[in-house]
Amino acid sequence: MSLDELRDQGILLPEEEWGEHSLEPTVARGPLLVVLLLAAVGLVAAFVGDGAWPTWVGVGLFLVCLYVATFLCDRAIEVQRERMSRRRR
């Protein structure tokens, strides 16, 4: 997308605010790391299970971890939006 298209959609900050804000991520790194490690365990269990019950436990664990990781990242985006809206007031 071009800068003009992003401006038209209201996605960009005003140019006078460019470079003034912190680029520090707001996602909780500890819980996200735990979820990603559990997802890796789930994938290994699914692979090693060879169609037996460990396979399905691994698939279930992976799907739960996928949902939780998405939730954590989405929550971090909401926190960032709240911070930006407070700064603009």
Domain boundaries, the chain: 23-88
Among 62, 36, 37, CA closest to 49: 62
Confidence label for 13 from pLDDT (cuts 50, 70 and 90): confident
Burial 33-47 (b: 16+ CB within 10 A, else e): eebeebbeebeebbe
Which pLDDT score is estimated for 6? 80
Which pLDDT score is estimated for 89? 63
pLDDT beyond 80 at 35: yes
Q: Which structure tokens are listed for 41?
A: 């365990």
The pTM is what?
Answer: 0.71
Question: What is the rounded CA–CA span in Å between residue 78 and residue 57?
Answer: 32
Question: What is the rounded CA–CA span in Å between residue 42 and residue 39?
Answer: 5
* Residue 28 near residue 72, CB atoms below 8 Å: yes
Residue 86 CA from chain centroid, whole number: 22
Confidence label for 88 from pLDDT (cuts 50, 70 and 90): low
